[in-house]
Amino acid sequence: MATAMGNENAAMEETTESMPSDPEAVSEEDKKRADEIKEEANVFFKNEDYTNAIDKYSKAIQLNPFVAAYFGNRSFAYLRTECFGYALNDASKALNLDKNYLKAYYRRASANMALGKFKLALKDFEAVTKVRPSDKDARTKYNECNKICKRIAFEKAIASDDGKCLADTIDIESLVIEANYDGPHLQDGTVTLDFANALIEAYKEQKKLPKKYVCQILVQAKKLFCEQDSLVYIDVPPKAKFTICGDIHGQYYDLLNIFQMNGKPSEENPYLFNGDFVDRGSFSVECIMTLLTYKLLYPKHFFMARGNHESLTMNQMYGFEGEVKSKYSSQLCELFTEVFNWLPLAHCINKKILVMHGGLFSNDNVTLDDISKTYRNKQPPDSGIMCELLWSDPQPQAGRAPSKRGVGVQFGPDVTARFLELNKLDYVVRSHEVKNEGYELMHGGKCITVFSAPNYCDTMGNKGAYINITGDDLTPKFTSYESVPHPNVKPMAYANPFFGLF
């Protein structure tokens, strides 16, 4: 999951030592100035410049921390930058100041929804409907959230407990390919180079792969991932080139641009894609199927790691589930989930570079062996090694802090240094966050972020990037690039309708 550019956790949190502790201590002049700054923030927010909006709301709060709307507005801006932990915190602060400030209930509920905490969200929506029983908007939001909670409860109740997976029971041979299909064909059920090349061209023209072929690729990919440990070791020979890519998020035409610039995957041109292949962008099916095709074609030279968006809750909210249902069926959603559950959690290159989607850990004792032994065939938990590998973020200051996302942890340069020393590594590479140039070096160059979805969601204006290394020179070399045109399908086109209510 991407978040706002920069390090707002360090620069934008109010400094409590300099804030008044008593409403009576706030001068009329400071109240007036705070309100003026809040209006400036609103303009930034309206123009979708959320980073500057957060900065301005924070300054207004420093001058007068007793206005619920300042926290409520900043909570909304944090929601838009996917800092759900900060959004939750601000919404709760707003309600502590004014329990009747209904927008704060909405903000807190939205953050909980985004984190998949639907029951907590339902409580806040219920609180609003009790205060305003005739409010149609409040009732609509409550009903939508309630539907999700009931659906999850129903799916849990009917879930099979016999240990059988869809991949083991699906009757692929009964699936029929329509006679008028003119796209690429598997050869005896097997991916070939001709198939991979033809698939790219077919997807470029917005053609659809038959369900039978999709199922065959998914079942084969799951089998391949099941055979790998949670930590995969990669050996890059001397002088051999290796490429690391970050989040793709359903931006298929930008994925093709990477291959155009850097060459298609092959045994001589290996890749690692570091999670978040799907959601947000509306060509997620095309992205994940292309990547899985290359995984089957070059199993020892093409690598894929799990991101926080390769999870059921994220897919339900941010578009992948809706896209799969629109293009195929609910059954295929289940099969994709089974594949995602077996994606490796991290990769170690030449025993010197650790690559994971999110970041490091809440304690200093985690070893590569611990990562390798981490059980992963499940939905990501709210804490522990798996959670932190998928969700954590670096921070500029030393130590650790609660996550701005509400999940995982934020870790400083000292944490990175101790982890590298313990595990005899040179540096870590992670993704998970939008960066202006598509990459960023932190912690003295020992913690590198790479993000490969340019102009994220068609709004952020960022560049994408990828990293090249060679086996005898592990110094990262960065290539940044702009977004390319795509068919007129907006990001989040398949997202949960709930998002349209805000």
- Rounded CA gap, 57 and 478, in Å? 35
- Rounded CA gap, 301 and 400, in Å? 36
Q: List Cβ neighbours of 349 (8 Å cut-off, separation of 6 or more).
A: 234, 236, 242, 272, 355, 469, 474
- Rounded CA gap, 292 and 218, in Å? 8
CA atoms within 13 A on the CB side of 428: 28
**DSSP letter string, 100-134:** T-HHHHHHHHHHHHHTT-HHHHHHHHHHHHHH-TT
- Rounded CA gap, 123 and 110, in Å? 12
Query: 């001058």: which residue's tokens?
Result: 63
- Rounded CA gap, 353 and 350, in Å? 7
- Give the pairing of strands 346-349 and 231-234: parallel
Helix/strand/coil percentages in the chain, nearest 5: 45, 15, 40
Q: List Cβ neighbours of 314 (8 Å cut-off, separation of 6 or more).
A: 1, 116, 279, 308, 320
The torsion region of residue 133 among left (phi > 0), alpha (psi -120 to 50) and beta comes to alpha
Residues pairing with 477 in the sheet: 468
CA distances from 356 to 239, 371, 385, 449 (A): 24, 11, 11, 10
Closest CA to 53 of 95, 31, 81: 81
The torsion region of residue 427 among left (phi > 0), alpha (psi -120 to 50) and beta comes to beta
CA distances from 422 to 121, 373, 464 (A): 41, 17, 32
- Please pick, among 309, 357, 432, 486, the residue that the annotation labels catalytic: 309
- Rounded CA gap, 221 and 189, in Å? 13
CA distances from 240 to 18, 466, 474, 491 (A): 54, 16, 11, 36
- Is 347 labeled as catalytic in the residue annotation? no
- Rounded CA gap, 295 and 289, in Å? 10
- Rounded CA gap, 205 and 286, in Å? 11
Sheet of 353-356: strand order equals: 231-234, 346-349, 353-356, 427-430, 447-450, 439-442
Q: Which residues are catalytic?
A: 309
